[in-house]
Amino acid sequence: MIRTLAGRTFAGRAFAGRAWTEVDLSALRHNARALAGLAPQGVRIMAVVKADAYGHGDVRVAQTLYRCGVRDFAVATLEEGIRLRRHMARGRILVLGYTDPREAAALWRWRHAQALDAQKKRLHVHLALDTGMHRLGTDAMDGAALDALCSLKWLRVDGVFTHLCVADELTEQARAFTAAQAARFRAAVEMLRERGLHGFQTHAQATYGLMNYPEFSGDVARVGIGLYGVLSQQGQTRMQADLQPALALRARVAQVRRVAAGESVGYGRAYTARTDMAAAVVTAGYADGIPRSLSGSGAHVLIHGQRAPVIGRICMDQLLADVSGIVGVKQGDVVTLIGRDGSAEIRCEDFAGWCGTISNEILCRLGGRLGRIYLP
């Protein structure tokens, strides 16, 4: 029997997959309520479900959140938005990323935002304003550009938004820059209203904006990584939320190898046994989304509720772990790479730290060949 990340048994029988994720929908619902509880009175949350809901499954996640009261969803691409709309007749879906203007007909058909007025399709859009990140959007301080936006008769502006690019930091510099972004955003919103644009909602906060800079709230808060119960990396936030990780990543022991002292294992002979040891071959590798940078990082996995150091280089389909100190490891045993096994836990933030990246990247890159189990 497989113990899930919530301590439950899956379907009363063993799951036969080589590597899989478990998504706890009750944790997802809990996180949505917790983040909504942080928002000021009257501020709604917009669930960011781009990149297949950060590896959790966009359709199932969006459907679950809709049933618990979320009505606004954000994706990165038109294709993501269309897939979501095919499975959800209701709810507002915002495409945050670039869409070719030639796709205006598809945007209109599926009632998504973003296109150009020249296509002469009545479209509901949110205007992206660049307040200092210099990624997407119109310069918030460019009055002529704002004038031009206000003159586009085929666009119905339902929202205006920006992105706070250092909201995950609380240094003096980060606070000052975030405050400057918020001030530019407020000024641009006021300019738009002075030019006759009214009836739109505003949003600037993402998960970290909500938790670190609650004073810069708008009508909506776009929450992504926090919905899934983790933060981008270890660290403190000004406001605390009782977030529960919604995803576990598991694989199996394919074989246990006896390695004599002085022998090496894996590609490049990157690890040499100091003493006689047992090495478990684990059925997950970089083709499943495990970064090769995990190699030699001091990472470990959980087997039988105990920590087993990762040794050697991550392969395409496998990795190796030192199980010398764990009794009874055998073929078919479950290996936890992210999640809980008994009283032991590996958080996604820990895993990301070993790989030299952030939780967002780890979750988004979990491969399509992984199985996925949903826990109610």
pLDDT tens digit sequence for 161-204: 999 999 999 999 999 999 999 999 999 999 999 999 999 999 99
Predicted pLDDT of residue 120: 63
Buried/exposed 25-40: b ≥16 CB within 10 Å, e otherwise: bebbbbbbebbbebbe
Helix or strand run (H / E) with residue 87: helix 78-87
Topology of domain 39-228, CATH: TIM Barrel (3.20.20)
Topology of domain 247-375, CATH: Lyase, Ornithine Decarboxylase; Chain A, domain 1 (2.40.37)
Domain span(s) for CATH 3.20.20.10 in the chain = 39-228
Q: For residues 207 and 226, is the Cβ–Cβ distance under 8 A?
A: yes
Predicted pLDDT of residue 104: 63
Positions marked active-site: 50, 267
CA distance 93 to 129: 19
Predicted pLDDT of residue 105: 67
Whole-model pTM above 0.95?
no
Predicted pLDDT of residue 112: 35
Residue 243 has pLDDT above 80, yes or no: yes
Sign, CA dihedral 159-162-164-165, equals positive
Residue 119 has pLDDT above 90, yes or no: no
Residue 107 has pLDDT above 80, yes or no: no
Predicted pLDDT of residue 113: 34
Section 61-69 average pLDDT: 97
Domain span(s) for CATH 2.40.37.10 in the chain = 247-375
